[in-house]
């Protein structure tokens, strides 16, 4: 098999990269080790920055997003006795969209399978070779169990945190920064109409809580818990009682309903640099992980592949290396900005158990809720900064 760009991973990064390249006449093959059903069923991100929504729409995969997505013009920040609304359009002229990553993935896969570049599911034994040459190869076994070799001009490692691509970059020497947070998120899906128009990010002495939504009849809610907590120790009633406590506001209450899914998600920040080795380029979670408090994970993946697609078109069509040579630095500038913002939101809103921290957090929250300058800084980061910082 031969293609210009071999892409490992059919998550949002790999799929969108393939689409953006195809629109520029660059061919690719996407290799995915899971089944289509598995990939489309993964519940993950939800908040799309304005740039992400615009990119998907411009790439011709935004029709359902425009029809079924929920455009949100702000968030509520809460601490005991106060719920303050940040109005994004008045602060920074942008909005965000609530539209599940699962739906984005379904839209991208449907487009890919409707006459788009090859997308192979259930491959295994994926190995990269000769990435330091201009003829890298991907060895793999296809779903039928037949060994295959994909000859490429370039390989894109969009295979997530547990993929095979980053270790290949690491072999040539790279730096890694990691922070594991001393808390996790217990998340539930509930058949209950959200009791709020915008997301509520709530600080409380007992811990952080987040009120989000999937669709008009379905709520998505999260509680800060200790990373050692077990989901079986959290019956529905205990979860609802904790949400009521942490989000309490006079003459308002959380809407309860049947819990249809619950899980505990660990929280960490992770960055690896560079995001390139020879003709192998990393994008998305393969290179970085952020805690979900800032709603940046999916949006960072989209920003990476927007930059990478531009760079690969320049290399493969115009034979110019300037953009591929600057890709890692340009992508990492945004990665660190989003890593900082995700750390800022996480540190401001999650109880550490230390009362000095609590006073700092409350002071920061009061500052954001009272200063247009501080609110604008949060709004600009949350809705997404320009691609090239």
CB 111 within 8 A of CB 19: yes
Q: Which of residues 292-321 bind ligand PHB (CB under 6 A)?
A: 292-293, 295
Q: Least CB distance from residue 30 to ligand FAS, whole Å?
A: 9
3 state DSSP class of 315: helix
Q: Least CB distance from residue 47 to ligand PHB, whole Å?
A: 5
Could you say whether residue 164 binds ligand FAS (CB under 6 A)?
A: yes
Q: Least CB distance from residue 228 to ligand PHB, whole Å?
A: 22
Is 350 labeled as catalytic in the residue annotation?
A: no
Is 72 labeled as catalytic in the residue annotation?
A: yes
Residue 163, binding choice from ligand FAS, ligand PHB, none, Cβ under 5 to 8 Å by partner class: ligand FAS
Residue 220, binding choice from ligand PHB, ligand FAS, none, Cβ under 5 to 8 Å by partner class: ligand PHB
Torsion, Cα 230 233 235 241, to 10 degrees, reads -100
Binding ligand FAS (rule: CB under 6 A), the pick from 128, 192, 298, 331 is 298
Q: Least CB distance from residue 41 to ligand PHB, whole Å?
A: 15
Judge residue 249's burial from the number of C-beta atoms within 10 Å of its C-beta, 0-12 exposed, 13-18 middle, 19 or more buried.
Answer: middle
* Closest C-alpha to 4, from 305, 313, 308: 313
Residue 274, binding choice from ligand PHB, ligand FAS, none, Cβ under 5 to 8 Å by partner class: none
Q: Which residue's beta carbon is nearest to the bound ligand PHB? A: 212
Residue with smaller CB distance to ligand FAS, 101 or 357 = 101
205 φ, ψ (degrees, to nearest 5): -55, -30
Could you say whether residue 13 binds ligand FAS (CB under 6 A)?
A: yes
Would you state the structure tokens that stand for residue 320, as one six-digit string?
């110019």
* Closest C-alpha to 283, from 384, 386, 177, 154: 154
Could you say whether residue 6 binds ligand FAS (CB under 6 A)?
A: no
Residue 109, binding choice from ligand FAS, ligand PHB, none, Cβ under 5 to 8 Å by partner class: none
Single out the catalytic residue among 72, 76, 288, 350. Answer: 72
Binding ligand FAS (rule: CB under 6 A), the pick from 3, 4, 6, 11 is 11
Residue 8, binding choice from ligand FAS, ligand PHB, none, Cβ under 5 to 8 Å by partner class: ligand FAS
Residue 58 CB coordination number (10 Å): 11
Q: Least CB distance from residue 342 to ligand PHB, whole Å?
A: 9
Q: Least CB distance from residue 307 to ligand PHB, whole Å?
A: 23
Binding ligand PHB (rule: CB under 6 A), the pick from 5, 21, 47, 375 is 47
Residue 296, binding choice from ligand PHB, ligand FAS, none, Cβ under 5 to 8 Å by partner class: ligand FAS
* Closest C-alpha to 205, from 35, 78, 120, 84: 78
Binding ligand PHB (rule: CB under 6 A), the pick from 19, 137, 204, 220 is 220
Instruction: Find all residues with CB under 8 Å of 154, minimum gap 6, and list them.
Output: 4, 5, 6, 136, 279, 280, 281, 312, 315, 316
* Cα distances (angstroms) measured from residue 15 to each of 50, 214, 283, 319: 19, 22, 11, 24
Q: Least CB distance from residue 290 to ligand FAS, whole Å?
A: 7
Asked whether the bond before 274 is cis by omega within 30 degrees of 0, the reply is yes
Q: What angle do CA 365, 368, 371 make, to 5 degrees?
A: 140
3 state DSSP class of 128: strand
How many residues can be counted in the chain?
Answer: 389
Single out the catalytic residue among 99, 291, 292, 327. Answer: 292
Residue with smaller CB distance to ligand PHB, 102 or 141 = 102
Angle between helix 297-318 and helix 12-22 axes, rounded to 10 deg: 30
CB 187 within 8 A of CB 200: no
Instruction: Find all residues with CB under 8 Å of 194, minimum gap 6, and list them.
Output: 211, 212, 213, 216, 219, 255
Binding ligand FAS (rule: CB under 6 A), the pick from 62, 74, 117, 160 is 160
Tell me which residues touch ligand PHB (CB under 6 A). 46-47, 199, 212, 220, 292-293, 295
Tell me which residues touch ligand FAS (CB under 6 A). 8-14, 31-34, 39, 44-46, 101, 123, 126, 158-160, 163-164, 265, 284-285, 292, 295-298, 301
Please identify every residue annotated as catalytic.
72, 201, 292, 296, 382
């Amino acid at each position: 098999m031969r293609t210009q760009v071999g892409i490992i991973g059919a998550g949002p990064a790999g799929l969108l990269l393939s689409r953006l390249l195809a629109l520029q006449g660059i061919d690719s093959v996407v290799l995915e080790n899971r089944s289509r059903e598995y990939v489309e069923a993964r519940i993950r991100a939800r908040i799309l920055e304005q740039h992400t929504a615009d990119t998907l729409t411009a790439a011709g995969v935004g029709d359902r997003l425009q029809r079924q997505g929920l455009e949100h013009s702000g968030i509520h920040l809460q601490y005991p006795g106060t719920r303050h609304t940040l109005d994004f359009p008045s602060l920074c002229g942008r909005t965000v969209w609530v539209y599940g990553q699962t739906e984005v993935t379904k839209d991208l896969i449907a487009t890919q399978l409707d006459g788009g570049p090859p997308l192979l599911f259930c491959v295994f034994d994926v190995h990269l070779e000769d990435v330091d040459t201009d003829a890298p190869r991907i060895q793999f076994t296809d779903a039928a169990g037949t060994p295959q070799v994909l000859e490429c001009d370039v390989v894109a490692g969009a295979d997530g945190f547990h993929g095979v691509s980053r270790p290949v970059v690491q072999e040539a020497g790279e730096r890694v920064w990691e922070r594991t947070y001393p808390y996790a998120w217990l998340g539930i899906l509930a058949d209950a109409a959200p009791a709020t128009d915008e997301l509520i990010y709530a600080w409380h002495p007992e811990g952080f809580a987040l009120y989000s939504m999937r669709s008009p009849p379905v709520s998505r809610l999260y509680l800060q818990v200790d990373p050692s907590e077990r989901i079986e120790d959290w019956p529905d009633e205990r979860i609802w009682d904790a949400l009521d406590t942490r989000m309490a506001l006079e003459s308002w209450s959380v809407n309860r309903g049947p819990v249809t899914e619950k899980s505990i998600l660990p929280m960490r920040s992770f960055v690896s640099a560079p995001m390139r080795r020879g003709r192998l380029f990393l994008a998305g979670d393969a290179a970085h992980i952020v805690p979900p408090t800032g709603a940046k994970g999916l949006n960072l993946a989209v920003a990476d592949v927007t930059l990478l697609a531009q760079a690969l078109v320049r290399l493969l069509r115009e034979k110019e290396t300037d953009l591929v040579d600057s890709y890692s630095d340009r992508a990492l500038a945004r990665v660190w900005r989003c890593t900082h913002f995700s750390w800022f939101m996480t540190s401001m809103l999650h109880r550490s158990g230390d009362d000095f921290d609590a006073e700092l957090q409350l002071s920061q929250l009061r500052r954001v809720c009272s200063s247009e300058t501080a609110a604008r800084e949060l709004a600009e980061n949350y809705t997404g900064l320009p691609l090239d910082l």
